[in-house]
Amino acid sequence: MRIGIIGCGVVGAAIAYRLSSIPGLEVLVYDSRSPQQFEATGAALGVLMAAISGKLKGRHLKLRLESLRLYESLIPQLEQQTGLEIPYNREGILQLYFEVAELKRFETLQTVRQTQGFDLELWSLERLSQQFPELAQGRSLVEGSEGKSVVGAVYSPQDRQVDPVALTQGLVQGALQQGANIHFETGITGFRAQDFAEEQLLTHLQTVSTEVPVDWVVVSAGLGSTPLTQALKQPIAIQPVLGQAIHLRSKVPLRSPCPVVNGCDVHLVPMNDHELWVGATVEFPEIDPLKIEQARITPSPQALDLVLQQAIALYPALADAEVLRTWQGFRPRPQERAAPVIERLPGYGNVLIASGHYRNGVLLAPITAEKIWSFLQAAL
Ligand SMILES: Cc1cc2nc3c(=O)[nH]c(=O)nc-3n(C[C@H](O)[C@H](O)[C@H](O)COP(=O)(O)OP(=O)(O)OC[C@H]3O[C@@H](n4cnc5c(N)ncnc54)[C@H](O)[C@@H]3O)c2cc1C
């Protein structure tokens, strides 16, 4: 059976890796980008926030926790298979908080997570000062709690962070080794379909130069999924939500190894003993999301500065840090429905959608690949 996968960001690459491990499946992947250029995946910080996510139950939480579990075996397996190094921070996530009232919520979260197999440690300010004295002066700049000092922290030892580009390259390499055919700089421009009584079946993917026969199609094209589903007359609106981030070099050495530190929705992601990523802004478009190109808004320097100022407020030693680089990307966010969209495309018997992962596409890539394989298994 021949599966055509459209899009090879972290989500498409994870699907290609999973499906190419199944005997009897022929995997073809198409991406309009070059192997070195990335869309949303290239902008991501790679923070895998599952256990420390505020959600107590529901589909999204279940996906997050299952995906985090998959990561623990996926990374060593990929490294061993491909010989590539995939930077994977196993030091956990440390989240600072600024309101004493928050403690109640974290106590509930801790109890619920225990039943789900995850440990959360609640740290008093005293414990934080002992373990991470450099963070004990942290302040919040968020409106409402502006100027408030840190009062405690939650430490989640089982959450992780991964380098999204190294991961995607590893998945691509692993998929190639397992026999997948991956075509970069080859966008899918259209489809050929056959009509049946109740639904249509796609028979071919079209590029500018050729038509390729397929048995199943997986659309994992991030923001590109909107025009593709429009072409199939079943539009799924996915909105581009801008995120900007910063690569800093600290004058003061950072502790190494170090967990990801989070406070006021800003992440400090350690890279080595002097460098870290900081992000990210969340900037919404105001235009019709079905007109994707128009909806890509211009980055706001003020929004980026606010993130930097919040990072300095969390960790004052960063005040003298040097900005090595800033970057931006667009998160694919489903319009008026929950992220992510992992389902069969209505009206078609052989089209699956794996798109719209919004702020958690890196975290959710392994479980998305499992879900896609489950859909195919059920159809075989
Ligand atoms: C600043 C920022 C920080 C983030 N931080 C995190 C984080 O810490 N943790 C986390 O889990 N997530 C994070 N995210 C979100 C994450 O980046 C996305 O959810 C994820 O990358 C989506 O992956 P994707 O493969 O669906 O999309 P993409 O990476 O956008 O890939 C889609 C691919 O489809 C291709 N394509 C599109 N149209 C076509 C076509 N017609 N034919 C062929 N190919 C096509 C594109 O070229 C592209 O390569 C962040 C995002 C941003 C912007």
- Segments making up each domain of the chain, as ranges: 1-91+159-237+336-380
276 has a pLDDT exceeding 70: yes
pLDDT mean over 328-337: 95
Q: What is the number of the ligand 1 atom nearest to the C-alpha of 329?
A: 53
For residue 291, pLDDT beyond 70? no
Decide the pairing of beta strands 2-6 and 26-30: parallel
pLDDT > 60? residue 333: yes
Residues with CB under 6 A from ligand 1: 6-12, 30-33, 38-41, 43-47, 187-188, 220-222, 224, 228, 243, 245, 279-280, 329, 331-332, 355, 357-363
Q: How far is the CA of 184 from the centre of ligand 1 (A)?
A: 15
pLDDT above 90 for 282:
yes
CA-closest candidate to residue 32, choices 296, 292, 225, 230: 225
Which of 28, 29, 33, 89 is the best mutation target for the ligand 1 pocket, counting ligand atoms within 8 Å of the beta carbon and taking the most?
33
More confident residue, 293 or 73: 73
Report how far ligand 1's centroid is from the alpha carbon of 43 (Å).
8
Tell me which residue of 223, 235, 239 sits closest to 355, measured CA to CA.
223
Fold topology of 1-91+159-237+336-380: FAD/NAD(P)-binding domain (3.50.50)
Per-residue tokens: 194: 């056959």
Atom 27 (ligand 1): residue with closest C-alpha? 222
Of 262-271, 290-299, 353-362, the range with the lowest mean pLDDT is 290-299
Encode pLDDT of 189-236 as tens digits.
999 999 887 899 999 999 999 999 999 999 999 999 999 999 999 999
Pocket test for ligand 1, best of 64, 236, 358, 362 (most atoms within 8 A of CB): 362
Sheet of 216-219, strand order: 181-183, 26-30, 2-6, 216-219, 351-355, 341-344
pLDDT tens profile 339-368: 999 999 999 999 999 999 999 999 999 999
pLDDT class for 294, splitting at 50, 70, 90?
low
Pair 162, 45: CB distance under 8 Å: no
Give pLDDT, residue 290. Answer: 59
Encode pLDDT of 140-175 as tens digits.
998 766 689 999 999 999 999 999 999 999 999 999
Q: Which of 127, 126, 151 is nearest to 138 (CA)?
A: 151
Give me the percent of the chain exceeding a pLDDT of 70. Answer: 97
Distances (CA, A) of 183 to 33, 110, 173, 198, 228: 9, 45, 13, 33, 18
pLDDT digit string (tens) for 93-150?
999 999 999 999 999 999 999 999 999 999 999 999 999 999 999 999 987 666 899 9
Closest atom of ligand 1 relative to the 359 alpha carbon = 15
Give the three-state DSSP class for 34. coil
Is residue 318 classed as helix, strand or coil in its secondary structure?
Answer: helix
Cα dist. 221→34, 218, 251, 290 in Å? 14, 9, 40, 15
**Which atom number of ligand 1 is nearest to the Cα of residue 227?**
41
How far is it, in rounded angstroms, from Cα 119 to Cα 19? 32
Q: What is the pLDDT of residues 9-46, one digit of tens each?
A: 999 999 999 999 999 999 999 999 999 999 999 999 99
**Ligand 1 pocket: which of 39, 172, 260 to mutate (most atoms within 8 A of CB):** 39
H/E element, 334? strand 322-334
Q: Decide which of 331 and 285 is more confident.
A: 331
User: What does the pLDDT read at residue 203?
Assistant: 97
- Ligand 1 mutation pick, 360, 367, 371, max ligand atoms within 8 A of CB: 360
Task: Give the count of beta carbons closer than 10 Å to the beta carbon of residue 73.
Answer: 10
Residue nearest to atom 26 of ligand 1 (CA): 222
Average pLDDT, the chain: 95
| pTM: predicted TM-score of the whole model, two decimal places | 0.97
Residue 285 has pLDDT above 90, yes or no: no
pLDDT at residue 297, rounded to an integer: 82
Tokens 């659309």 sit on residue? 219
Residue 39 in contact with residue 330, Cβ under 8 Å?
yes
Distance 41 CA to ligand 1 centre (A): 4
Please tell me the predicted confidence (pLDDT) of residue 142.
Answer: 81
